[in-house]
Copies of this chain bind each other. A is one copy, B any other.
Amino acid sequence: MTPGEGESAFLSIKEEVESELQAFMRRKIEQASDATIRGIVEMLSSYSRGGKRIRPVMLILGHDLFARHNEATVKASISIELSQSYFLIQDDIMDQSETRRGKPSFHMEVWNRLFHNDPERKRLAESIALVASDLAESYSHEAIFASGLDRDQALIADTELTSIFETTGHGQLIDIYSTFAENFTEADLIRLHTLKTARYTVEGPLVMGARIAGNASEIQNLESYGYLVGTAFQIQDDILGMFGDESVLGKSVKSDVNEGKKTLLILKALEQGSESERAFVRQCISSGNISDADFEKLKRIVESTGSLGYSRDLVLKMSSRAKDYLHSVNGDEKVKHTLAWAADYIVSRNK
């Protein structure tokens, strides 16, 4: 199997997911009992387009390691993609982000469509977006019940899904605290990534898939793989978020800094920089609106302090260790190959 086969296996599963996701949302639009609700469900349907679908694909790969997936598996896998709308809409309300995936964020879209950006109705638009996010959360559970999984599998899947959401909530709390906590360390950050990203994006879906397939013996190796790949994914995201290409990313490279995010890049620069550099970095992440010149200077500090190199190394190391754990898994070799490709992709992706 060549590296290209890993990618095409991933993409082929992604297509199955995409088609079920669209079918599910079409059904929700049809079921809408009036125009008000239908309008919002249609917006949710458009909003969910263009995602990478990493999570449901991971779920299906987790299943395929031990038993070939069927239609019910795919139908259940979209649960963890539907919840993306739940988390992203709320994230953007909390951060007051105006864009998402290069398009207006959900509450901005509501504000524009329903209220023509009337300043007095911005909160109202956020309220509508919040309720829409809650609907997406309900859909994620419903996708499992309506999947055709047998009752035992459905219960296992929904129990795991609920547990993933709880962990994500804990990560979200720590993320919010990180913006104002005095002593936020690298260890805190890694824990945050473990809770908020790794479990929700890789570890949780993979384990959910394995459990639906009835596997119990390989969970620990999968957890280790998932924790490492998921954490590397987030650190790579932070690197791209500062050094990536805005037109590819679909968001401003300044946004993390403007939101005051203590990414690993920032934490290491704060640790390794001179006193004046540290003061400058602190000023940047509390400014809320960094200038172009300051942003370029900040990037140079992140590079010169070795912070960028440290983060890149860590991503590589985590990806490599993830593959070691994967190697030990007693499961389908082709699927392991695809998961190894995924671990490499994390490292090399540019969006």
- Interface set of A (CB-CB < 8 Å, partner B): 33-34, 36-37, 40, 90, 93-94, 96, 121, 123-124, 126-128, 130-132, 134-135, 137-139, 141-142, 145, 151-152, 154-155, 158-159, 162-163, 165-166, 169-170, 172-174, 176-177, 179-180
Contact = CB atoms under 8 A, between A and B. Distances in A.
Contacts of A170: 33, 37, 135
B180 A134 contact: no
B141 A162 contact: yes
B138 A165 contact: yes
A166 B145 contact: no
Contacts of A33: 170
A130 B162 contact: no
A297 B138 CA distance: 43
B173 A124 contact: no
Nearest to A170: B37
| Number of copies of this protein chain within its complex | 2
B162 A138 contact: yes
A305 B141 CA distance: 47
Nearest to A33: B170
B127 A166 contact: no
Contact of A180 (B96, B124, B177): B124
A-B residue pairs, 5 tightest by C-beta: A94-B127, A138-B166, A141-B162, A135-B169, A145-B159
A173 B36 contact: yes
Contact of A158 (B126, B139, B141, B180): B141
Contact of A96 (B123, B135, B141): B123
Given A137-B165, A141-B141, A145-B162, 13 more contacts: A34-B174, A36-B174, A94-B123, A127-B176, A131-B173, A134-B137, A138-B163, A138-B165, A142-B162, A142-B166, A151-B152, A151-B155, A158-B158
